[in-house]
Structure 1
Amino acid sequence: MPMDADPFNLAAYVLAAGAAHPDKPALSLVGGDKPEHWTFGDLIQAVRGTATGLLQRGLTPGDLVLMRLGNTPDFPLAYLGAIAAGLVPVPTAAVLTEAEVARIIDTLRPRFILRDPDVACPPAANVLSLDGLRAMRDLPAAAWHMGDPERLGYVIYTSGTSGKPTAVMHAHRAIRARRMMFDGWYGLRPDDRVMHAGAFNWTYTLGTGLLDPWTVGATALIPEPGTAPANLPAIMAAEQATIFAAAPGVYRQMLAAPGTIEVPTLRHGLSAGEKMSAALRDRWQDATDTPVFEAFGMSECSTFISGSPDAPADGDAVGRAQPGRRVAILGPEGPVADGTHGTIAIHRSDPGLMLGYWGAPDQTADRFQGDWFLTGDQGVRDAAGQITYLGRNDDMMNAGGFRVSPLEVEAALASMPGIEAIGVTEVEVKADVRVIAAFYAAPAPLDDDALRGYARTKLARYKQPRLYIHLPKLPTGANGKLLRRALRAAFEAENHG
């Protein structure tokens, strides 16, 4: 998608549609004892007032601003306020420890830190308190800082293929690429009421739950922090949500709750963050009579493969490349034929693709094969353009010389009666001997022979787990994503001392 070089600002772009309807609801914090509501007029004033306050503190366009804020509306307001002023926000997860934040500060040397006192942060100079940040909202509105859409707009952190957090630089123009999701994934309309189950300070929530609805002038709904998944359907119904977004684990927990799910205004759900199994997707469809559309993406390029209301995914496929995206499945010599496994890649011309990794040009270069950015994820595309996700390179397992995706095994076993959640990984049982192990959550241990018999009906022999391990619950990250590495590490620590 060609991008012009007219002066541009990401925050101004996001809020332009809302400026035409200042009294329309933009954001509601719902489901708690003290609901909070913001109109677009309120939102724009707070963002531009924050921009003024940050500039009055002596910051200049291009300065990095580290965000150590909690799961509150302060997070998106500060994020857009910094961008409105031409500053470069660095949103970070509130659950990071002080030591982890210290490493970020040492790497980026931010000019300013926005800090909630309840969020971990090492002592540092140039820290703005939450009260000081909130006081800026009523200041006179700053002018939008306009400039080259290719200039640095924000920095986010990713775990990366090595598991080491890496700073990813994005340009202002990345927000324009998100329009490809509006029809290619969301089916988003100005009259929608989009409810996202994630925290304000999760990039999935920030993009899908807030910035994208605001870009079309739609209303964003965010549940009160700490809302139990079992309560989300009732909130959706009460707030007349039309689109719901969450990670697969949230859908699983809603379905596990007693009672029926009544969501009369919901058109469909959205899922991202990790692979949703076809079985879980079908269970949600049966329970609510609404589909779930899944998307694949990453911190370096957001989402670019998805199903949508106009082009649903088939079977276990994630979906197709969104209209306007150039996506390929690559082997060592370049794009491979349909039906051949390879690495999912996106063309370097994609407007949503990162500028690079902070201070790591070699690492950035290593992610490219010619004009293709290598995601590090495995997939296969069929003749109809549907892409099936097979897992990360470092998640792929080896069974007798065959590469096996844990997702395939998990999907096959997830429908076993009695299993509530399942995670599959390779574990070392003795030196140089590794086997496939299935860790499952269930109210009580299931019979191993029954599990093996079920697997035999679903999977080729080399794909069948050799170990079945019962756990009260599976380890997940702050946003509900399964931590396969934690399963492996815990098993090996227990069995190898």
Structure 2
Amino acid sequence: MTTGTAAFRAARDFLLAHAEDYAAATAGFAWPELDEFNWALDWFDVIAEGNEEPALWIVEEDGTEERFSYAAMASRSSRVANWLRANGVRRGDRIVVMLGNQVELWDTILAVMKLGAVLIPATPLLGAADAAGRVSRGGAKHVIAGAAWAAKFDTVDATKIAVGAPIEGWLLLRDAYSGDDGFVQGAGGELRGGGAEGTGGAEGTGGAEGTAGAGRITRATDTLLLYFTSGTTARPKLVEHTHQSYPVGHLSTMYWIGLRPGDVHLNISSPGWAKHAWSNVFAPWNAQACVFIYNYTRFDPARLLAEMQRCGVTSFCAPPTVWRMLIQADLSALPTPPRLVVGAGEPLNPEVIDQVEKAWGVTVRDGFGQTETTVQIANTPGQPVKPGSMGRPVPGYRIALIDPNTGAEAEEGEICVALDPRPTGLMVGYHGDDELTAERMAGGYYHTGDVASRDADGYITYVGRTDDVFKASDYRISPFELESVLIEHEAVVEAAVVPSPDELRLAVPKAYVVLAEGWAADETTAAAIFAHCREHMPPYARIRRLEFAELPKTISGKIRRVELRDAEREKHADPDTRPAGEFTG
């Protein structure tokens, strides 16, 4: 066992031992100090040795399924790593990976990590232009993609590796599995230090450090991941993470979920996004749990619940959109609910939490984090959950709420992460954008761009993105609070609230609403929703305008309120004309 492995295990075991003792975990936890560390080799392969417990369980829509043990995944990924090395992948090389929820995705993640190369995950939902953009902006030399999406990379100049059917001009990953599974780190001519090109300084070419076979072991601070953000308000940013910031940083995510060895963990998230790495790779495998996948093409709540029951899912994580769809279904169809249920991606409305608790007797616990971090704030196991609150800072994070006007801590303000000491789970920065990185790391804090309030017990309640919160008649409006009230009405499945221009009040709250099945998008339904708002919202914050529509979302599923705000300005450019389809109340 390496010193890095021992330090990581000690930190992990401390959190497992204090899984429901928030005070002790917060007071006693310290991030492991790591110098040389490769999570795939120094953690995963160590716990995989001789371990036939399931690491990955994939159930397909047609009923077929496959289970892969920890030992099998270690062997498979080493074969892929050796094959990639033989086909020119070197330490520091960047690789765009576009794969679905298939075993080759996990093989590739582990293999690339073992090689010391850099992963650039890409969702299959990207169009050809965006896919090519990931390659060019990320400086990728290689592409690994499912055969069904290969055409998206036709214009790309890179080594191309297909998973699935043969494609002219592409290598086939399936050839890797007939090779040797004995992997030696640093063999095969990887260069020491400065990347695949081998230029520059002592870490470049020349001398014993740059000769074939010398290589080097991975430093914890080496780059591992370049993640494109979902772009809810602007052009996607390129977030840089290291071999410690995500693999080790997700000890906080493991603690939030409450995972234990042997758990069967289901997380609803698409490959290519950070949340997939959070809860389908690092958090469960840090805990020595099994990653469970139900691989559907069309979401079917009844079938999902049936598979959860059949396969004994013990922990479940889903974004609010999925939770809102589930409470429209018959939750009692799952007689043995998971022990642990959590929600992430966007704040979870109290109505959803209440419905699940009534049906399952289990509380859905919110967690807050970003692509730029691991979980920062959460309702952790065993702690009281306050309705609407996303909990308290998790072990390893110090959170301050900063008033943007004064720069001082306040009861309500921007969620900021203290940098002294710097939490392991925080990104290096925005790759290629030193100016934005400096802006976000100003004043001794990482600035999240999200606003929240904190009560006397230290519980933090989400208010909204800094650019989503708005004023109406000089009152400050939190879209999230109004949306939470809206979905309490039986007609509303989902809602987004934005400012709508108004000559008298500057702006009034307008709701875009997705209706539940059986409700008509007409004046009667609008009147019922307005009546609900009058009963449950204060007069200054009441919804004044309403429109039934599908909500614009990023390809990761987050609501793009910026599009709705822009649309409102256009629709109300003429104050004397009411837009078609808009109801007032």
Match of 2:307 among 232, 235, 251: 235
Deviation at 1:234, TM superposition (A): 0.9
Kindly indicate whether residue 103 of structure 2 is the aligned counterpart of residue 73 of structure 1.
yes
Q: How does 1:13-412 map to 2 (within 5 A)?
A: 13-16=42-45, 18-33=47-62, 34-119=64-149, 120-125=152-157, 126-131=159-164, 132-141=172-181, 142-144=183-185, 146-159=217-230, 162-174=233-245, 175-183=247-255, 185-230=256-301, 231-258=303-330, 260-332=332-404, 333-337=406-410, 340-348=411-419, 349-412=422-485
Aligned residues of 1:295 and 1:306 also touching (Cα < 8 A): yes
| CA separation of 1:13 and 1:308: change in aligned 2, threshold 3 A | farther
Deviation at 1:258, TM superposition (A): 4.7
Aligned residues of 1:423 and 1:440 also touching (Cα < 8 A): yes
Deviation at 1:447, TM superposition (A): 3.9
SS in 2 for 1:118: helix
* Residue type at the aligned position of 1:22: N
| TM-score, with structure 1 as normaliser | 0.93
Aligned residues of 2:248 and 2:425 also touching (Cα < 8 A): yes
Aligned residues of 2:60 and 2:296 also touching (Cα < 8 A): no
Cα distance between partner residues in 2 of 1:364 and 1:259? 44
Q: How does 1:432-447 map to 2 (within 5 A)?
A: 434-442=507-515, 443-445=519-521, 446-447=524-525
1:463 matched residue in structure 2: 541
* Residue type at the aligned position of 2:173: L
Aligned residues of 1:161 and 1:394 also touching (Cα < 8 A): no
Aligned length: 493
Deviation at 1:21, TM superposition (A): 4.8
Cα distance between partner residues in 2 of 1:189 and 1:398? 45
Cα distance between partner residues in 2 of 1:203 and 1:14? 20
Cα distance between partner residues in 1 of 2:145 and 2:489? 46
SS in 2 for 1:457: helix
Unaligned runs of 5+ in 1: none
- Summarize deviations over 1:423-474 as a string: whole Å, max 9, x none: 2112346899543211112221344443333222222222112101123x43
What fraction of aligned residue pairs are identical, expressed as a percent?
26
| CA separation of 1:2 and 1:113: change in aligned 2, threshold 3 A | same
Cα distance between partner residues in 1 of 2:177 and 2:233? 40
Cα distance between partner residues in 1 of 2:343 and 2:175? 36
2:39 matched residue in structure 1: 10
SS in 1 for 2:224: strand
Cα distance between partner residues in 1 of 2:102 and 2:179? 21
Cα distance between partner residues in 2 of 1:270 and 1:144? 37
| CA separation of 1:258 and 1:148: change in aligned 2, threshold 3 A | closer
SS in 1 for 2:461: strand
Cα distance between partner residues in 1 of 2:501 and 2:162? 48
SS in 1 for 2:492: coil
Deviation at 1:122, TM superposition (A): 3.9
| TM-score, with structure 2 as normaliser | 0.79
Deviation at 1:371, TM superposition (A): 1.4
SS in 2 for 1:114: strand
Deviation at 1:40, TM superposition (A): 1.1
SS in 2 for 1:241: coil
Unaligned runs of 5+ in 2: 1-29, 165-171, 187-216, 574-578, 580-585
RMSD: 2.4
